[in-house]
């Protein structure tokens, strides 16, 4: 599969911003995303192909992996990062109006899929230390246990899988 394809912080507001963020508030945002868009474990969730949809996809991933599936914060963090990368690629490179998000769990594995109408294959590029973009699939390749692309009659599904310890 490998062949496929400094923001400055406002001054003086750091404490106020940090005081407003909390896991409880983040859980509420994630729960609202689930109510608004649907549950990606039950059916593919359609999201508009806009940069702000990455936030919705991250929140959906967070609530599913951490709350519904009860997996570790580290697993959640990695899955959220990787879904953000796949969504970013779908938004930037496919010209789609909508993409789909689907999440599945089976014994020992989780799978996250992003479907879009483009049949153009993503490409894993070599990454240099000073590169400021193009690291998305590199991260997917490094943090997931496996990933790939399934061509469909109309479009493709780009996916990654991660091993999980079943209890």
Yes or no: is domain 22-117+134-161 CATH 3.30.565.10?
yes
Q: How far apart are CA 122 and CA 4, in angstroms?
A: 6
pLDDT of 12-21, one tens digit each?
444 444 444 3
- The DSSP code sequence of the chain is -TT---PPPPTT-HHHHHHH--HHHHHHHHHHHHHHH--TTTSPEEEESSTTHHHHHHHHHHIIIIIIS---HHHHHHHHHHHHHHHHHHHHHS--SEEEEEEEEETTEEEEEEEES--PPP------TT-SS--HHHHHHHHSSEEEEEEETTEEEEEEEEE----
pLDDT bin (cut points 50, 70, 90) of residue 1 is: very low
> Which residue bears the tokens 């991933």?
61
Q: How far apart are CA 124 and CA 167, in angstroms?
A: 34
Q: Domain map of the chain by residue range?
A: 22-117+134-161
Q: Is 108 exposed, middle or buried (0-12, 13-18, 19+ CB in 10 A)?
A: exposed
What's the pLDDT score for residue 110? 98
Name the more confident of 122 and 57.
57
Least confident of 58-67, 107-116, 118-127: 118-127
pTM as predicted: 0.79
Name the more confident of 61 and 33.
61
pLDDT bin (cut points 50, 70, 90) of residue 26 is: low
What's the pLDDT score for residue 14? 42
Could you give the percent of the chain with pLDDT greater than 70? Answer: 78
Q: How far apart are CA 75 and CA 121, in angstroms?
A: 27
What's the pLDDT score for residue 45? 96
pLDDT of 44-103, one tens digit each?
999 999 988 999 999 999 999 999 999 999 999 999 999 999 999 899 888 889 999 999
Q: Is 115 exposed, middle or buried (0-12, 13-18, 19+ CB in 10 A)?
A: buried
Q: How far apart are CA 95 and CA 30, in angstroms?
A: 27
Size of the chain, expressed as the number of residues it contains: 167
């Amino acid at each position: 599969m490998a062949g496929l394809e400094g923001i400055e912080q406002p001054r003086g507001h750091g404490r106020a911003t940090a005081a407003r963020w909390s896991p409880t508030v983040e859980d509420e945002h994630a729960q609202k995303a689930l109510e608004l868009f649907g549950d990606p474990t039950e059916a593919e969730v359609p999201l508009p192909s806009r940069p702000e949809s990455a936030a919705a996809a991250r929140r959906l991933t967070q609530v599913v992996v951490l709350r519904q599936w009860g997996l570790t914060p580290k697993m959640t963090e990695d899955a959220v990062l990787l879904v953000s990368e796949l969504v970013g690629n779908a938004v930037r490179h496919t010209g789609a109006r909508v993409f789909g998000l689907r999440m599945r769990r089976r014994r020992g594995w989780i799978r996250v899929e992003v479907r879009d109408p483009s049949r153009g294959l993503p490409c894993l590029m070599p990454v240099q230390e000073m590169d400021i973009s193009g690291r998305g699939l590199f991260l997917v390749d490094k943090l997931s246990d496996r990933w790939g692309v399934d061509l469909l009659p109309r479009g493709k599904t780009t996916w990654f899988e991660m091993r999980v310890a079943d209890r």
